[in-house]
Chains A and B, each alone.
Chain A
Amino acid sequence: MSHDLSALFDPKGIIITGVSNHPGKFGFVTLHNLIVSGYEGNIFPVGREPGEALGRPVLGSIDDVPDGQADMVFICTPQAVNEDLLRAAAAKGVKAAFFAAAGYREAGPDGVEAERRLVALADELGIAVAGPNGQGVVSTPSKMCAQIVAPYAPAGRIAVASQSGNFVSSFLNLSHHTGVGISRAVAAGNAAVLGIADYVEWFADDPETDVCLVYMESVDNGREMFERLKAVAERKPVVVVKGGASDAGARAAASHTGALASDDAVFDGMCRQAGLIRARDVEEAFETAATIATQPLPAGSRVVVVTTVGGWGVAAVDAMSGTRLEATPLPADLHAAIDEKLPPRWSKNNPIDMAGGETRDTVPEIMELAAAHPEVDSVLFLGLGIQSNTAAMMREGDFYPDHGLERIVGFHERQDARYAEAAAEIAERTGTPVLLATELANARPENPGPAGARAAGRMCHSSAGRAIRSLELMTRYAQWRRARGL
């Protein structure tokens, strides 16, 4: 069954229960985060003691909320009172609820019973219930950070659904770090009513979302989940990272096949069949989602690496071994075209090692030649930021700005900014992904190279190996689509 979650992700008004003046309490923190994220709808804090919090009037009861002004309720109150609160909210026109409140299934037999009643009540009232025991929901199109913890995130095209709230925070932090933004993010909590598949199905229809990013631990109804996520993957990419990849192969198996059927191997096969892009860890998952969200899908597995010096190119090719990616031999006409641009000492091979022979326009020109070539499916440029790194030392040294340093520093910095901008522009124009990688993305994020990638809204990977890994996962997804005529 597909749920309408528009009141959860784009509410026109939000009731928060359990609001007090105590800055350590969930109700207060949620009110705070909602205001500072710039939420523009109505906010109705409700608390045991009417008064004021963060300059907003706190109502003594949901009954005091004007009819039809709120369609979402964010529950921070103790479990025992929440059924009454949900009924009161429903009477005001609420269509969706996020239960941050704990005390449900995770809390023993009484909690299990409370959760069962909550599921029945949600059904009776026709309310889409997220949680309970979840950290919250984020939606950048509505400037909404309805969470009991940080952070908010920059706006973008990635939608997150997670069975762990911590990893919602991880993904949002990585979004801040890379600058590649988020459309929606939700912690499923106990997933009493709404589960991962419900969220991802809604994301598939969401015009604000291009890529779904999922963290999951348990698989309750694997067959149903397989069918539902496969239907989504046919429409939008779904990146999955799974925790708890334990080996249940010890289960008593009468057959060889059963003995070989570890949970992880079966889950992996399910992902390959359903077109789910399975990442090994949270960083890889985010980086892959961020790459897919900001690059065209590659048409095939032929990669050209462009580098200013040797070692990085070698590392990139090493990272491709054992993958489906191929450092394709340079087509003759591409080879000839590069000969025109570089002095004879260039590598004459893939990786295209410019060996320091580049002048003002060479890097963008060679990226362009490679990306535009019909026998090249992806381009990886290594060496972004190296000029600005030299410039940074000059700028920070005692001789600056004399001895011509100001001029050369300015030149270097403009060049790296240009390279980042050109990579984005060329990818968009040619339909060939152009990835960037430099450890400066971590070491010196203010460097105009990685900073330029950020400004262009693109992922700059922190190493060639990580870029290759994202590219491989993205290429596999493209191949999965193509094999099925999608």
Chain B
Amino acid sequence: MSITLSEAESRRVVTRHGVPVSPFVTGTSTDGVIAAVENDATVEFPVVAKLCGRAIAHKTERGLVKLRIADEQALRVACDDLLAAARPDDGEVEVLVSTMVDGNRELIAGLNDDPQFGLTIMLGVGGILAEAIRDVVFRVVPITEIDAAEMIDDLATQRLLEEFRGEPALDRQSLIDALVGLAAVGEKEAGIRSVDLNPLILVDGKPIAVDALLEVEVDR
């Protein structure tokens, strides 16, 4: 059977392989979270705070995502609220705090264990519209940098990757590195069934995942 890791667990795994995610810290108490933010040089306000746990599938629908938190005081309130919202059947939970990153363009990337070809990697035009737009390209894992570059070239919506509304063009090498890193997650971690990096926001032309979900096969 397979289980879905929490966002915090998923982020820790993909980060090990060089997948860029928005800067984040985690904690299991409000004081712990505040201390983690103070001790971390990368997380900057405004931040987003989310309650994470393996059993929590629909964070947004349950109001477990707090956006645009401006300062420590507001973060303290948000953490208290999130931890109070945890239900007994959520199991182990933690609060994830990460820098809010801004960008108009969202991509999606992921891995999927295909019944015919085994582990495959996907890049697409993403965000909440990904499944409607269906501008996606796949490759079989492992991939080379050349394969990754060709994935980018194969997207139909090339115009989205050029200079766009005052934002610079996609830094292709950054996206190649992210894809090669994502493929490495599939190669080096045991039992990967799927990975979603959605969305992958282009910030100054570079992709940064602001959500990550890993589904892994586990022995019972």
**CB closest residue in chain A, given B144:** A484
For B, the interface residue count at a CB cutoff of 8 angstroms equals: 37
Comparing A254-262, A387-395, A463-471, the segment that makes contact with chain B is: A254-262
Render A232-265 as a binary contact track against B, CB cut-off 8 A, 1 for contact: 0000000000000000000101111111110101
A219 to B116: give the CA distance in the assembly, Å. Answer: 7
A266 with B2: CB separation less than 8 A: no
**CB closest residue in chain B, given A260:** B136
If the complex has contacts A261-B138, A266-B138, are A255 and B112 also in contact, measured as CB distance less than 8 A?
yes
A223 with B118: CB separation less than 8 A: yes
> Chain A interface secondary structure, helix, strand, loop or mixed?
helix
**Is B9 engaged at the interface, CB distance under 8 Å to the other chain?**
no
Across the interface, which residues of A come within 8 angstroms of B196, CB to CB?
255-257
B130 with A260: CB separation less than 8 A: yes
**Is A226 engaged at the interface, CB distance under 8 Å to the other chain?**
yes
**Is A57 engaged at the interface, CB distance under 8 Å to the other chain?**
no
**CB closest residue in chain B, given A485:** B146
Comparing A128-136, A159-167, A269-277, A445-453, the segment that makes contact with chain B is: A269-277
**CB closest residue in chain B, given A248:** B115
B117 with A270: CB separation less than 8 A: yes
B114 with A266: CB separation less than 8 A: yes
**Is B53 engaged at the interface, CB distance under 8 Å to the other chain?**
no
A269 with B116: CB separation less than 8 A: no
**Is A222 engaged at the interface, CB distance under 8 Å to the other chain?**
yes
Across the interface, which residues of A come within 8 angstroms of B130, CB to CB?
256, 260
**Is B108 engaged at the interface, CB distance under 8 Å to the other chain?**
yes
A260 with B139: CB separation less than 8 A: no
If the complex has contacts A222-B114, A222-B117, are A258 and B194 also in contact, measured as CB distance less than 8 A?
yes
> Chain B interface secondary structure, helix, strand, loop or mixed?
strand
**Is B59 engaged at the interface, CB distance under 8 Å to the other chain?**
no
Across the interface, which residues of A come within 8 angstroms of B134, CB to CB?
260, 265
**Is B181 engaged at the interface, CB distance under 8 Å to the other chain?**
no
**CB closest residue in chain B, given A262:** B134
Across the interface, which residues of B come within 8 angstroms of A257, CB to CB?
108-112, 122, 194-196
If the complex has contacts A265-B136, A265-B137, are A256 and B118 also in contact, measured as CB distance less than 8 A?
no
Across the interface, which residues of B come within 8 angstroms of A267, CB to CB?
116
B111 with A270: CB separation less than 8 A: no
Across the interface, which residues of A come within 8 angstroms of B213, CB to CB?
255
B131 with A256: CB separation less than 8 A: yes
Contact among A255, A263, A480 with B194 in the assembled complex (CB-CB below 8 Å): A255
A256 with B108: CB separation less than 8 A: yes
Render B29-47 as a binary contact track against A, CB cut-off 8 A, 1 for contact: 0000000000000000000
**Is B147 engaged at the interface, CB distance under 8 Å to the other chain?**
yes
**CB closest residue in chain A, given B150:** A272
A260 with B122: CB separation less than 8 A: yes
A288 to B131: give the CA distance in the assembly, Å. Answer: 32
**Is B143 engaged at the interface, CB distance under 8 Å to the other chain?**
yes
A259 to B215: give the CA distance in the assembly, Å. Answer: 14
**CB closest residue in chain A, given B120:** A266
Q: B residues 67-122 with Cβ under 8 Å of A?
A: 108-112, 114-118, 120, 122
Render A437-474 as a binary contact track against B, CB cut-off 8 A, 1 for contact: 00000000000000000000000000000000000000
**Is B154 engaged at the interface, CB distance under 8 Å to the other chain?**
yes
CB distance from A451 to the nearest CB of B (A): 39
A259 to B116: give the CA distance in the assembly, Å. Answer: 15
Q: A residues 269-320 with Cβ under 8 Å of B?
A: 269-270, 272-273
If the complex has contacts A260-B131, A266-B116, A272-B139, are A255 and B108 also in contact, measured as CB distance less than 8 A?
no
CB distance from A325 to the nearest CB of B (A): 14
CB distance from A160 to the nearest CB of B (A): 23
If the complex has contacts A270-B138, A273-B139, A483-B150, are A260 and B124 also in contact, measured as CB distance less than 8 A?
yes
B114 with A272: CB separation less than 8 A: no
Contact among A254, A260, A261, A263 with B215 in the assembled complex (CB-CB below 8 Å): A254
If the complex has contacts A255-B196, A256-B130, are A263 and B116 also in contact, measured as CB distance less than 8 A?
yes
**Is B4 engaged at the interface, CB distance under 8 Å to the other chain?**
yes
CB distance from A251 to the nearest CB of B (A): 8
Interface centre among A222, A251, A254 (most CB of B within 10 A): A254
**Is B203 engaged at the interface, CB distance under 8 Å to the other chain?**
no
Across the interface, which residues of A come within 8 angstroms of B140, CB to CB?
223, 226, 269-270, 273
B215 with A266: CB separation less than 8 A: no
**Is A268 engaged at the interface, CB distance under 8 Å to the other chain?**
yes
Q: B residues 1-24 with Cβ under 8 Å of A?
A: 2, 4
B131 with A259: CB separation less than 8 A: yes
Interface centre among A256, A258, A267, A272 (most CB of B within 10 A): A256
B138 with A265: CB separation less than 8 A: yes
Interface centre among A268, A270, A484 (most CB of B within 10 A): A270
CB distance from A242 to the nearest CB of B (A): 12
**CB closest residue in chain A, given B122:** A257
Render B147-168 as a binary contact track against A, CB cut-off 8 A, 1 for contact: 1011100100000000000000
Across the interface, which residues of B come within 8 angstroms of A258, CB to CB?
112, 194
CB distance from A37 to the nearest CB of B (A): 38
A201 to B35: give the CA distance in the assembly, Å. Answer: 62
If the complex has contacts A257-B110, A257-B194, A260-B136, are A266 and B117 also in contact, measured as CB distance less than 8 A?
yes
A253 to B122: give the CA distance in the assembly, Å. Answer: 14
Across the interface, which residues of A come within 8 angstroms of B118, CB to CB?
222-223
Can you list 27 pairs linking A and B with CB atoms under 8 Å apart?
A223-B116, A223-B117, A223-B118, A226-B140, A251-B115, A253-B112, A254-B194, A255-B110, A255-B194, A255-B213, A256-B108, A256-B130, A257-B122, A257-B194, A257-B195, A259-B131, A260-B122, A261-B114, A265-B138, A269-B139, A270-B117, A270-B138, A272-B139, A272-B154, A273-B140, A273-B150, A480-B150
With contacts A256-B198, A261-B122 known, what are 13 further pairs, Cβ within 8 A? A226-B117, A256-B108, A257-B112, A260-B108, A260-B110, A260-B134, A269-B138, A270-B117, A270-B140, A272-B154, A273-B139, A273-B147, A483-B149
Those 7 A-B pairs whose CB atoms lie nearest each other, nearest first: A257-B110, A269-B138, A222-B116, A255-B194, A222-B117, A257-B112, A258-B112
